[in-house]
Structure 1
Amino acid sequence: MQDEDYMSQLSFGNDSALDALVFRYHKLVYGYAYRLLQDEKLAEDIVQETFLKIYQQGKKGCVPEQFKPWMYKIATNGCKDYWKKASTQREHCMDKSLEGMEGIHHIIDRQLERKWMIDSLNQLSFEYRSVLYLRFYQDLKYAEIALTLDIPVNTVKVRISRGLKYLERILKHEDREGVKGQ
């Protein structure tokens, strides 16, 4: 069954349709929210809010033309709302333990590279970071990203292009700093 069909089922009172959507998308939405917020609990809260809104809209009979971009739009707005809160202070937990990985150098190297990339991505503004995550981590097409973020497709293309250029500068700068520090 298509995602949009599940939304229709919600409007007819079939609450188990939400279970199918949660099963299909929970991990993806969580990964997206976590990458944007860098906090497991907040990411889980965003996921719950996202599926609650999907459920509420489904009960009202709302069936989006394209479910996936609509769902990511809800999650993106939840992340934006978090960032807009004046009292919000981001805390970075840079000390992640690598317990249990002694002797597995290739796994550690990949984890460190991944952390380096995510830390670099997180230096970008939200508008560039969100399009890059949606494109490269969530594998959305330009048109889907445009629907998700309520921006024109050309703006998506520009933000991806500029975001990649800014990311390249950040990575080159950090690479030079790493060479100097050795």
Structure 2
Amino acid sequence: MWTRTVEMDGVNTEEEELLLQELYKQMFIVAYSIMRDRSLAMDVVQESWLKILMKLSTLKDPDKIIQWAKVIASNTALNMLKRSSRQTTHVSEESARYQPESKSDVEEQVVQKMICETIEQLDDTTRRIFVYKYFEDLKDQDIADKMEMPVGTVKARLHRGKEQLRSLLSDPFPNPGST
């Protein structure tokens, strides 16, 4: 069925099995990088498989099935994150939207990933404020209203958070004996 549907003449059952295993592996990697939870990533992969099977006839180039499947898994994971909780914000969602196209884009993505991972080290409240401010472009007053806190508290947390990020990013490999 699989070979006939994607018109991959000459592919034997062993090759089909390897292709399916590779698809699953690649989809799981994408899903896990976004969800950061094994069981949620498996749910994403399962939901993605259903979408793939339903839309397989729309695949124009069978050689690009892995890339196509990864995009579906990524979109499914992002949609699941959005559905699961508007309150809990994950920085990885923002970085997952970015697709590199050139060497400079890849370098920018590495820097962006490093910043996102560093932001994840902040306490939950400060991290949410950062995401609202820098990823969702909310104004300080809007953040204060959304989080039900004074605008001064938002500004203070942003300031302290920036200082903490600056410190963490300036020395990404601190000496364990220096703390």
TM range (shorter): 0.3 to 0.5
Structure 1 or 2, whichever has the larger Rg, is: 2
TM-score (norm 2): 0.48
- Which structure is richer in relative contact order (CA contacts within 8 A, separation 6 or more)? 1
